[in-house]
Chain A
């Protein structure tokens, strides 16, 4: 018998008991919704990580200063490690001629003023390579140059939001702003860059549109930290090709291990690892959602099976009649299996819709990025069909194996 006939028969008998069919599908609905929202969160986190990687640059290695506490801090003191320093950057540059650029980044905690106007931006000391490593360029004026760094000049490049905060629509290039106690000449404005502040992120992204860049040398000289002179928060290392990232990071690790006397007061981040890390943070969530999904699918499946068994008994006479009219065992099996699959797939479809709504809600209320992928929709649909097959096969067999004579006598 043709599939379309089974479909038609199935729709008819499902519509006879609309409420019952709907209640039967609830388990599948929630199970599938859980699957969809779980996958959407995973996908969202992945996309966020990919975005970060892009921001970081696939050819970049980032070395971050780690804040040590308690015993670790004591150990660092004993072993005479002074944290990540400008000197580390220079060492990397000297020892690894293959790297394309080594960019130090130092954050300076101080105020940014224009007249009486204060901006809550962030002062970042770096050098000329920064714009290439981060692929982030000025839209007006120029970036810090090698000479500015060499001579520790008092020049700065401001982010697009700082510019509108302090200058409005006036041209800031050539004007002076006060950073801490020192006056700086604005030499450029950075292009505006959209930055999504992800919640599930591994690395914290600051709003780089609020950065004010000054030469690293100026930052070290004018805003000295007594405890940690020459300290930097970050060193970004750029290599020529992607496949050099891992070997280079290993060499860097060995080098820093030596200069830091074995103290782990820094972390080395390579882009490819970001993804793995974000997936690691997702794991607990996935286990919880996965269990909810599995349990509701199981309960839903059993519910469907239960209803189908009742339906088979209820329709004994119909089965006998169909057999008398020429239906084979396979026809009957197909009819009931098809009906079960239709119920669960209908539930699956509703579940997909509910899951999409849930993903949107999670995005709205929890702020997590969620992405509904075609894959997740397909897989959910597949799962619901599978539930139909697994839990439908037994009732369908019961129907098919029914003795036609006994079925006809049934009242």
Chain B
């Protein structure tokens, strides 16, 4: 099992008030899965993604990633795990503006300690794979949103991670570009990379083989295969953000 989560809780303490973002989530993800997470705004999707991606530490519960118990790791170990096993794709792309496209893709390899020449080669290859091989030296602000997201995906993939966490990757994109991004994720999954996708759009969730419906920091229900494809009506009950 790649991801094993038991009774995961996350509370944010803000002065007097305590925000319970996750109230006990248990979840397993197998290698090679394509998992979608849906739920209303504030239901804790991003919080869960950050915990699963080893960016954050839970307030309670246990989590093991690829056999490693994560709660006990220190900053260096956690960073290392994030660097090698996990890839993030964000809604806002999160590219570094002062760096060129290829330099952005290089960032995780720098923290991995890969030599410059080798790094460059790997990144150009990865850019080619996402269809941007011809524009490595452009700046992010010279590229379209869809192209930016491809760069971000190349950056997430260049370390050959076992699992990709994509938090609303198509949220800032039009339908057509969004579709292209989904095709890339799908292709990745077909080659064996585990994909966890957070989305608000039903038609995007339908690319997944399993769907998790979250509400108020809990998993409301899980759906698999055909159930997802039939879901159209069901989601009308779900308040959209």
For window 29-56 of B, CB contacts with A under 8 Å fall at 50, 53, 55-56
Minimum C-beta distance from A341 to chain B (A): 19
Interface residues of A in 316-350 (CB under 8 A from B): 317-318, 320-331
Q: How far is the CA of A318 from the CA of B83 in the complex (A)?
A: 16
* B154 CB to nearest chain A CB (Å): 12
A12 touches B94 (CB 8 A): no
Query: Which B residues lie within 8 Å of A366 (CB)?
Result: none
Q: B76 to A322, Cβ gap below 8 A?
A: no
**For B50, B84, B99, B107, which residue has the most chain A Cβ atoms within 10 angstroms?**
B107
Name the residue on A nearest B108 (C-beta): A325
Within 8 Å by CB of B79, from A13, A320, A323, lies: A323
Contact B110 A13, beta carbon cutoff 8 Å: no
Name the CB-closest residue of B to A320: B94
A323-B55, A408-B94 as given contacts; A328 in contact with B99, CB under 8 Å: no
On whether the beta carbons of A324 and B113 are closer than 8 Å, the reply is no
Chain B 144-181 against A: per-residue CB contact (8 Å), 1 yes, 0 no? Answer: 00000000000100010000000000000000000000
Q: Tell me the B residues contacting A by CB distance below 8 Å.
A: 50, 53, 55-56, 75-76, 79-80, 82-84, 88, 90, 94-96, 98-99, 107-108, 110-113, 155, 159
Q: Are A322 and B113 in contact (CB under 8 A)?
A: no
A404 at the interface (CB under 8 A from B): yes
The smallest beta-carbon distance between B47 and chain A, in angstroms, is 8
Q: Once bound together, how far apart are the Cα atoms of A327 and B79, in whole Å? A: 6
- Contact assessment for B107 and A322 in the assembled complex, using a CB-CB cutoff below 8 Å: yes
Give bound CA distance, A312 to B94, whole Å.
16
A-B contact count (CB 8 A): 66
Shortest beta-carbon distance from B160 to chain A in Å:
13
- If A1-B113, A12-B98, A408-B94 touch, whether A329 touches B75 (CB-CB below 8 Å) is yes
- Taken together as a complex, chains A and B put the C-alpha atoms of A323 and B53 apart, in Å, by 11
Q: Beyond the given A325-B107, A325-B155, A404-B56, please list 4 additional residue pairs across the A-B interface where CB-CB is below 8 A.
A: A16-B98, A321-B94, A321-B95, A324-B53
Contact status B82-A326, CB under 8 Å: yes
- Nearest CB of A to B153, in Å: 13
A317, A323, A324, A408: residue with the most chain B Cβ atoms closer than 10 Å: A324
Can you list 16 A-B contacts with CB-CB less than 8 angstroms, sorted by A residue number? A321-B90, A321-B107, A323-B79, A323-B82, A324-B53, A325-B83, A325-B88, A326-B82, A326-B84, A327-B111, A328-B76, A331-B111, A404-B55, A404-B56, A408-B50, A408-B94
Counting chain B CB atoms within 10 Å of each CB, the highest count among A321, A322, A326, A404 belongs to A326
Chain B residues positioned under 8 Å from A325 (CB to CB):
82-83, 88, 107-108, 111, 155
- Whether a CB of chain B sits under 8 angstroms from the CB of A405 is yes
Residue numbers in B under 8 Å from A5 (CB-CB): 110
B69 nearest CB across to chain A (Å): 19
Q: Determine if A78 is an interface residue (Cβ-Cβ < 8 Å).
A: no
Any B CB within 8 A of the CB of A2? yes
CA distance A86 to B5 in the complex (A): 106
Q: How far is the CA of A82 from the CA of B113 in the complex (A)?
A: 85
Against B, the Cβ 8 Å flags (1 = close, 0 = not) of A367-378 are 000000000000
The answer, among B55, B84, B90, B98, for a CB contact under 8 Å with A13, is: B98
Across the two chains, which residue of chain A brings its CB closest to B103?
Answer: A12
In whole angstroms, how far apart are the Cα atoms of A23 and B50 in the complex? Answer: 39
Complex Cα spacing A324 to B50, Å: 9
Which of B80, B82, B98 contacts A324 (CB under 8 A)? Answer: B82
Q: Which residues of A contact B90 (CB under 8 A)?
A: 321, 408
Contacting pair A321 B96 (CB below 8 A): yes
A324 touches B110 (CB 8 A): no
A400's nearest neighbour on chain B, judged by CB, is B75
B100 to chain A, nearest CB (A): 10
B136 to chain A, nearest CB (A): 16
For the complex, give the distance between the alpha carbons of A203 and B95 in Å. 69
